[in-house]
Structure 1
Amino acid sequence: MGILTTLPQQIETERLIIRTARPGDGAVFNAAIHASMERLAPWLVWVTPPPTVEESEESCRLAHGRFLRNEDLMALVFRKECGSLVGGSGLHDADWKAGKFEIGYWGHAAFSGCGYITEAVRALADHALEKLGANRVFLTTDDRNTASWKVAERAGFQLEGMLRNERLNPAGHLRDTRVYARVA
């Protein structure tokens, strides 16, 4: 099979269904964010203030449009056995010429420690490198977000470096940013 030139609508692993966000997902997406605010708010600017169901629905609709244009994959991660939303991930800012994708992720607090997000991140990175012909899949995370960079390391990403005072965190303070990547 040759190299694919479109983002995947769905990827399955042993325990998960990883699929594009689509219209109608706003309520379940919103419920997961609200249930996980304490864990997400220190790291993710898009959860503060907490979005309304309507705003979450609009995010899913806009994300689906970007997916249809083959620009970005905002993925929701569901358990196969029961359909529970365990978090989100995605392949962002697709640069098809350079073969480069940024990966992002967040986890539902109720499923912390189960390995679902690591499994999803690994599957998306594998897909990008093996099926989409990516040369590089990378991610960035706040140096203080130990849980996030441990996911990256468990998913096979290598630390490339630290960008000191690189951006503001959600509290408005400068943060040091770890850069991780997997390359072909």
Structure 2
Amino acid sequence: MDPVLIDVPERIETERLILRCPRPGDGPIVNDAERETRAELKPWMPWAHVEKSLDDSEAYCRRMQARYLLREDLVMFIFERDVMGREGRFLGGSGLHRIDWALRSFEIGYWRRSGCGGQGYITEAARALSRFAFDHLAARRVEIRTDDANSASWKVAERAGFTLEALLRGDSLTPAGEIRSTRVYARVRGSRSG
């Protein structure tokens, strides 16, 4: 089946969050959050090394919406959910990446804006995306890959119920060119963590 024919909801809600695919007009909120958070993200995210204009951020949002519709990359933005169930403060980004539709395998990625840490938002988003992948997309495998030195990120994977499968030693370079290792966490359909 052509993946573009797969029905993929564009919005996920949890008790505290709304996750949704990017839309035209999201550029300013994404740009603001990236500017605020750039210093924190630089050690882990190559894209944080490039300062983006508002037009760059808007173009990114539109490209990611197109890729979502084509089922190539399911980027989702994370918002606080207000008491009326509407989008509140923009908290960061996440989504299902490195998609293999034949295998039904996905990788969850995430980042959060400064000032939003320590409240469990990203763990809640990772759990919601994992459930979404298994329940709506018939996932067989969902991974989270993190830099071994990024303990905040791998602790999210552990709190979200993922199992550490491997430590890939010296398999990647940081944006600064340092050799690093990658932790691979997974949930697999049919296993206790899946």
Superimposed CA distance per residue, residues 42-75 of structure 1 (whole angstroms, 9 cap, x where no aligned partner): 1000111222221111111110000111221111
Unaligned runs of 5+ in 1: none
**Where does residue 98 of structure 1 map in the other structure?**
103
Corresponding position: 1:140 with 2:145:
yes
Contact 2:104 2:139 in 1 (8 A): yes
d(CA) in 1 for partners of 2:166 and 2:26?
36
**Where does residue 31 of structure 2 map in the other structure?**
30
Pick from 166, 180, 184: which aligns with 2:185?
Answer: 180
Contact 2:8 2:136 in 1 (8 A): no
Residues paired across the two proteins, number: 181
Cα deviation for residue 6 of structure 1 reads: 3.0
**Where does residue 77 of structure 1 map in the other structure?**
78
d(CA) in 2 for partners of 1:9 and 1:31?
23
Cα deviation for residue 16 of structure 1 reads: 0.5
Pick from 157, 161, 167: which aligns with 1:156?
Answer: 161
SS in 2 for 1:110: coil
Superimposed CA distance per residue, residues 55-104 of structure 1 (whole angstroms, 9 cap, x where no aligned partner): 11111111000011122111100001161011110011321110101110
Contact 1:26 1:58 in 2 (8 A): yes
C-alpha RMSD of the superposition: 1.3
Unaligned runs of 5+ in 2: 190-194
Superimposed CA distance per residue, residues 125-184 of structure 1 (whole angstroms, 9 cap, x where no aligned partner): 111012211000112110000000001111111111111111111111111011111111
SS in 1 for 2:88: coil
**Where does residue 128 of structure 1 map in the other structure?**
133
**Where does residue 20 of structure 2 map in the other structure?**
19
**Where does residue 89 of structure 1 map in the other structure?**
94
d(CA) in 2 for partners of 1:88 and 1:156?
20
SS in 2 for 1:109: coil
Identical positions, percent: 51
**Where does residue 116 of structure 1 map in the other structure?**
121
Contact 1:90 1:105 in 2 (8 A): yes
d(CA) in 2 for partners of 1:176 and 1:58?
32
Please report the TM-score for the alignment, with normalisation by the length of structure 1.
0.94
d(CA) in 2 for partners of 1:129 and 1:142?
25
Which fold has the larger relative contact order, with Cα–Cα distance below 8 Å and residues 6 or more apart in sequence?
A: 1
Contact 1:6 1:70 in 2 (8 A): no
